[in-house]
Amino acid sequence: MNKNQDLLSFPPCIKIHRLSSLRRSSSTNLIGKAQSTISICALFIFFTFLLFALSTFDNPNATATVQPTSAKSWRQIFNFLAPITPNESRTNHIPFALQRLGKIYRRGTDAMHDLIVGHVTELATPQELRLFLRLLHRSGLTSRSDLVLIFPTSSLSSDFDDVIRDENESFDKLLLANVAGNDSETSFNATKFVKQIKNQTEWIEPIWGPRNHSNCSEGSLPEPPLTTTRLSYGSVVSFLVDELDPANSLAGFLDHVPMSLRRWACYPMLLGRLKRKFKNVVLLDVREILLIGDPLVRVKTHSSESVLIFPESTPRKRNPTMESRQEEFKSVNLLVAMGGTRGVRHLSELMLAKIVGAATASRRRKIPVTELAILKRLVTKESLKAANIIIYEDPIPEASTLDNSTSWLMKFRRVSNSSRITSISSIFKQICSIELDSSIYGEC
């Protein structure tokens, strides 16, 4: 008889006794494991609370005062005003910009009145984006404007991360060197970034990035005393088109949706999320447009529903009627569109409707949908009146050098690649020819 037969031949009472013993031992093991687990969790919670208490304990020795009027302490004030500076870290982690969307490269000192939205096409190069950012910072516009970049793909956005960080860091150095009273020659005007305030309540926290729960940068610096002047600059953030237009709204009407058309589906979503946070908005093509001055002074005299766009060529008549203006401005461009937030949002919604209409008609006529075709539909008497569009009297000058001090915009439209590269190099060299600036920018 084998062992299995022996086990089966045992009396029932013995079987029951063995099963009871096994169950008791199993229950004892489970209770022991549970107690061990509970003990470990209790210790973990205890040490967590201990570390939290130690990290938030006020250091009585950290009571040193900061003299904001001293040149040596400007760096401390700068850190205080920018408690979150992702551009100073070369890690791959970049915080979300808004509602768990986008990326924030620089969190500004406070809320800004104006917004610059630049779309980056697939053809854009790192040097083109670098030049755009450098001239934008030097123009002084970022003293009262936030910058939003819209990328077509995540890979292109990642490729340009270092360029954006580099220009932010160079701007930090340039700003601090000028504010600290450096006697070297420079063409950069830092006074635009020094804001006069009366009390702390005048400062409103930027909408971008995580909210600040501490007045100190990384808990290392005490809050400086209230002063009458502080540094003020805007945020730099970016979004992907898939974040602002997740359904790809135009995909059902067009086989291929280029960035020049899809961006108009992104603007209503972006401006809708921002609501009434900004007074004026500038829409532009980062690859084609350079900001070297303040274009928003041209829209201050108009209503918040007005939008300013530009012709491709100089008009022949000085005071044209609506009909003659319509004939002369058949060739307009939307490399730049600017105005009040309500007007720009209305323009983007109108453009989106025009694109859908043109795409529907193109299916019947087999005609490709281009931005030029959409603009011809836009520049009509009815559309101009409905969108409150104002066509500027002069076209945007071509980019060459920075010698033309009266210009506040320059464009690269209809410029060959060789001429474009030559112009970019010439502008970089012109900036590097200045003593202080040449010591700040890496390629000088």
Domain boundaries, the chain: 71-438
Biggest distance spanned by C-alpha atoms of the chain: 119
For residue 225, CA distances in Å to 83, 107, 212, 392 come to: 16, 22, 19, 47
What is the rounded CA–CA span in Å between residue 375 and residue 200? 47
Residue 290: per-residue pLDDT:
94
Closest by alpha carbon to 424, among 60, 124, 121?
A: 124
Residue 271: per-residue pLDDT:
94
Both tokens assigned to 436: 């202080």
DSSP string, 33-66: HHHHHHHHHHHHHHHHHHHHHHHT---TT-----
DSSP string, 368-424: ---HHHHHHHHSSHHHHHHHTEEE-SSPPPBPS-S--TT-SEEE-TT--HHHHHHHH
For residue 366, CA distances in Å to 153, 254, 334 come to: 29, 12, 25
What is the rounded CA–CA span in Å between residue 267 and residue 247? 14
**Looking at 55-197, which runs of residues are DSSP E strands?**
103-106, 114-119, 145-151, 194-196
Q: What confidence tens digit (pLDDT) does each residue in 12-34 have?
A: 444 444 444 544 555 556 566 66
Contact 429, 412 (CB under 8 A): no
Average pLDDT over the chain, rounded to whole? 76
Residue 291: per-residue pLDDT:
93
Closest by alpha carbon to 397, among 274, 313, 300, 299?
A: 313
For residue 281, the SS3 value is: strand
| Residue 71, CB-side half-sphere exposure with 13 Å CA sphere | 8
Give 129's pLDDT tier (boundaries 50, 70, 90).
very high
CA 136 from chain centre, in angstroms, equals 13
* Report field, pTM of the whole predicted structure over 0.85: no
Most confident of 83-87, 194-198, 263-267, 429-433: 263-267
Residue 238: per-residue pLDDT:
97
Both tokens assigned to 386: 């409905």
For residue 187, the SS3 value is: coil
What is the rounded CA–CA span in Å between residue 115 and residue 439? 30
Give 81's pLDDT tier (boundaries 50, 70, 90).
very low
Helical residues (DSSP H) of 103-146, grouped into ranges = 126-139
Residue 179: per-residue pLDDT:
77
Residue 442: per-residue pLDDT:
81
What is the rounded CA–CA span in Å between residue 252 and residue 359? 10
